[in-house]
Chain A
Amino acid sequence: MLQEESDLSLIIAQIVQKLKGSNLYAQLERQAWASLQRPEIKLESLKEDIKEFFKISGWEKKLQNAVYSELSVFPLPSHPAAPPEHLKEPLVYMRKAQGSWEKRILKSLNSMCTELSIPLARKRPVGEQKELLNKWNEMGTDEPDLSLFRPVYAPKDFLEVLINLRNPNYENGDSLSFRTHLGLIQVPLKVKDIPELKELFVELGLTTGQLGIDDSTQVPPELFENEHVRIGQKVLTEQDSAAAQQYIRQGSPTALRAELWALILNISSHPEDILYYEQLKTNVIQHDLLVDSLIYKDVKLTASNDDYYFVFEDYLYQVLLCFSRDTSVLSHFAYNSASPPKSYIRGKLGLEEYAVFYPPNGVIPFHGFSMYVAPLCFLYHEPSKLYQIFREMYVRFFFRLHSISSHPSGIVSLCLLFETLLQTYLPQLFYHLREIGAQPLRISFKWMVRAFSGYLATDQLLLLWDRILGYNSLEILAVLAAAVFAFRAVNLMEVTSLAAAEAVLADLSTLKVMPLLQIFLFATVT
């Protein structure tokens, strides 16, 4: 009991510390001062009266949402003596692996730089700045020569690194047993089995209404949909983050989704936020970064060719170019196993005073990165709001999909979860695919790294991301991947090569995610 209490006070202290530096704190202070004018505030009971005022005026709710937001993102309480690296990643071998992976990426970036003799950053001449400002809303029409640029890495390169991960303290033994893991990932992380997943995803059960299933045309809306929409509207009126997160586990009505996500992510557009975005835009105009070309290339290769997202090409530049320059993103490295790459001012290699993070936000984009932003364009068309939502999604979820860590929502755990589910519950399929040289993870990896963006139809993708937000976890990606294999099992059993297996799973655009998930978790005999 004592331990819990001291844990709690530690967390509270940390959160208070964080919030004290925030805009909300300043606003609350201002509101408290202003409230002194009010007749109901009496000197004798100042504290209680102000608290009461906050409750009635909705400010307490805002504070509640901010605290809830911190709790969602904050890593679990650790020993007060634990060094900061443990917040990033407790396991040494994982930290080491992430470190060498980063070195490789940086090396690749630097050599591209040297080969092409392009500086990592340069200030734009005034003429070029003017031109870019004019073209800001249609950068997609620009045709810079990108043929010499290559993406710094692609998901499959990253997969190779994960396959080679080993825990030096773990002795696998040479003899095969029923415990042997037959997949590609060979590290002993704990992952959930179906009974545990059923507990976690209890709201996806067969007896609970779902959007994505119970709103189809065959079902009368009175049965579920109407009531669910009504509750959603109520949640929005109350502006309660925690309630919204619980609500959205059953899916969000399309008309309410933009607001619900903003509420859950605790994003509100204040003038300061819009100003901040404009400042980032100015940074883009004034300085050209090498990563900008990587971003252009990525957008041109992926989003521009996508049936749904090509329309939003220009928004993607506006978001991603600003994102690269946003130093506030650096704070998420406190709980990300990755670390921002450091670069040194020319001639001052190794001197810490001349070190800068490159790119300024510490995130080097890889092939497919722009697909994290694309689906959001269906919800938000105001650039600064779109930007804020994306940034928050990145620092809460997406970063875990391309850094090496032991976190249950980290990509390593997701891969292991996927493989374990398949091996345990579809052993025949798993064994068959392995035999023909088609390890399932080789096919599903790219789906999970991109959180299925670009593979599912947009409406289905949004229903999936509803649940990511609702459960504050990415595990559902692994479950869906396994469910897709289960769904196409009959065809997969008949293929005899990796290429044929890829072909069976090439087109996911007709899949309905919620029925697949439900059947896999709740309707399959385990």
Chain B
Amino acid sequence: MAGKVKWVTDMEKSVLINNFEKRGWVQVTENEDWNFYWMSVQTIRNVFSVETGYRLSDDQIVNHFPNHYELTRKDLMVKNIKRYRKELEKEGSPLAEKDESGKYLYLDFVPITYMLPADYNLFVEEFRKSPSSTWIMKPCGKAQGKGIFLINKLSQIKKWSRDSKTSSFVTQSTKEAYVISLYINNPLLIGGRKFDLRLYVLVSTYRPLRCYMYKLGFCRFCTVKYTPSTSELDNMFVHLTNVAIQKHGEDYNHIHGGKWTVSNLRLYLESTRGKEVTSRLFDEIHWIIVQSLKAVAVNASPSLTSSTANDRILKYNLINDTLNIAVPNGEIPDCKWNKSPPKEVLGNYEILYDEELAQGDGADRELRSRSGQSLGPKASRLRDAGRTVLTTWK
């Protein structure tokens, strides 16, 4: 007799609980035998920590990989990408190819970034090369736009100088570490506003890498028109798009929350800029995601708090599709599961990358498609994933 999946969560979120209940799963406590635990970040840390952690048994699944913070923490993410690139270079992989000026051809998707205070001197050297540029400071361990600010003068970050005698700042504490990146001050604007993309990616296994992208991602707009003018560097409503920040702006509209679906974005870009450019844009976005995942591990918790009615519906469906892929057919989890889920359970997810399937087609296809060589009619975009089994790019 197939038992019912036993679930636990330490987050009181209706989008989760409703999904569990509708499947007829049984709620238990964490001290009992559980199969599925949707954990908050703190709990994950405890479960996988050296002192307090414990080993999961074969019939248990959690919603984060142990090393998820490798991508959440900005300094670790940067380190991982830099390391990944160097590794590929050492292997002589064609992916690590550079152009005449030393820029990576296929892996240049992170702007110049330094860790502070560790790389302070390196940063100063770079800063002096183009003193009129703007840089963005982000605290390593925070989210939702907290603690971020822009600078265009060295004096604004004197505190992070290692030699600073006036600094009461503890240089070794990882909590206060920052990353500083070259600020991209000519972002794509729509309606004169800056926006970012919120995409949901599900990673079901690392080896082999199997990840899915939710088709219904969205863009978040700033409420205020963008200006690269230095006088507005302090105005976070112009530069940062996190809903948490925008929510407090005067113009924040509660009916729609300043968001567009990714398909709206696609329609707009295709209409105003053409199909090729738009397809290439989305291909490159997918590429960056997969490469980042390969470089490391998974992000921590996306916000499950819903800001609008539409948002609630989106997140409910997102969790629904996620559970369908992660716990297929509502069976008790088994770590020996290794099959790719059938197309019907994907819901609004599409296959972003399936290493097994990709390797079946030959690893060099990946590079050929990246350099733009045509792979024939089968190698078209992800939307074909339903018809053919191809999961690489054109």
Listed in ascending order, the chain A residues whose CB lies under 8 Å from chain B are: 137-138, 140-141, 217-218, 220, 222, 253-255, 257-258, 304-308, 310-315, 377-381, 458-459, 462
Contacts and interface: CB of A to CB of B under 8 A. Distances in A.
26 contacts: A138-B224, A140-B251, A141-B224, A217-B383, A218-B386, A218-B387, A220-B387, A254-B275, A255-B271, A255-B274, A255-B275, A255-B278, A257-B271, A305-B255, A307-B256, A307-B260, A307-B310, A311-B191, A314-B191, A314-B225, A378-B267, A378-B268, A379-B271, A458-B267, A459-B267, A462-B271
Interface string B236-271: 000000000000000101011011100110011011
Contact of B253 (A222, A257, A305, A378): A305
B191 A313 contact: yes
Most buried by A among B258, B271, B274, B377: B271
**7 A-B pairs with least C-beta separation:** A311-B191, A254-B270, A255-B275, A138-B225, A255-B274, A305-B255, A217-B383
Contacts of A377: 191
Given A137-B225, A307-B260, 13 more contacts: A140-B251, A141-B251, A218-B386, A222-B377, A254-B267, A254-B275, A257-B271, A307-B310, A308-B260, A310-B253, A310-B256, A378-B268, A378-B271
Contact of B190 (A254, A255, A311, A458): A311
A253 B271 CA distance: 9
Interface in B177-200: 190-193
Contacts of A218: 386-387
Nearest to A220: B387
Contacts of B377: 222
B200 to A, nearest CB: 19
Contacts of A379: 271-272
Interface in B363-394: 377, 383-384, 386-387
B114 interface: no
B15 to A, nearest CB: 20
Contact of B270 (A255, A308, A311): A255
A220 B388 CA distance: 11
A304 B251 CA distance: 11
Secondary structure type dominating chain B contacts: mixed
B221 interface: yes
B163 to A, nearest CB: 44
A121 to B, nearest CB: 29
A137 B225 CA distance: 8
Contacts of A314: 191-192, 225
Nearest to B225: A138
B226 to A, nearest CB: 10
A217 B253 contact: no
Given A137-B192, A222-B377, A381 B272 contact: yes
Nearest to B258: A310
A227 to B, nearest CB: 14
Contacts of A254: 267, 270-271, 275
A462 B165 CA distance: 63
A218 B388 CA distance: 11
A285 to B, nearest CB: 19
Nearest to B224: A141
A380 to B, nearest CB: 8
A378 B273 CA distance: 11
B192 to A, nearest CB: 6
B256 A258 contact: no
B381 to A, nearest CB: 10
A356 to B, nearest CB: 35
Most buried by B among A307, A313, A314, A380: A307
A218 B383 CA distance: 9
Interface string B153-195: 0000000000000000000000000000000000000111100
A380 B255 CA distance: 26
A462 B264 CA distance: 12
B255 to A, nearest CB: 5
Contact of B193 (A255, A304, A305, A311): A311
A435 B256 CA distance: 37
A312 B251 contact: no
Contacts of B251: 140-141
A25 to B, nearest CB: 32
Contacts of B386: 217-218
Nearest to B255: A305
A94 B221 CA distance: 47
A253 B190 CA distance: 21
Contacts of B190: 311
B253 A304 contact: yes
A363 B95 CA distance: 60
Nearest to B275: A255
Nearest to B219: A311
Contacts of A381: 272
A500 to B, nearest CB: 20
B26 to A, nearest CB: 34
Given A311-B193, A314-B191, A253 B275 contact: yes
B272 A308 contact: no
Nearest to A257: B271
Contacts of A137: 192, 225
A380 B387 CA distance: 35
A382 to B, nearest CB: 10
B191 A312 contact: yes
A258 B274 CA distance: 10
A311 B275 contact: no
B260 A311 contact: yes
Contacts of B270: 254-255
Contacts of B310: 307
B89 to A, nearest CB: 38
Contacts of B274: 255
B41 to A, nearest CB: 31
Contacts of A141: 224-225, 251
A217 B255 CA distance: 31
Most buried by B among A137, A218, A315, A381: A381
Contacts of A315: 191
B157 to A, nearest CB: 31
A214 B272 CA distance: 23
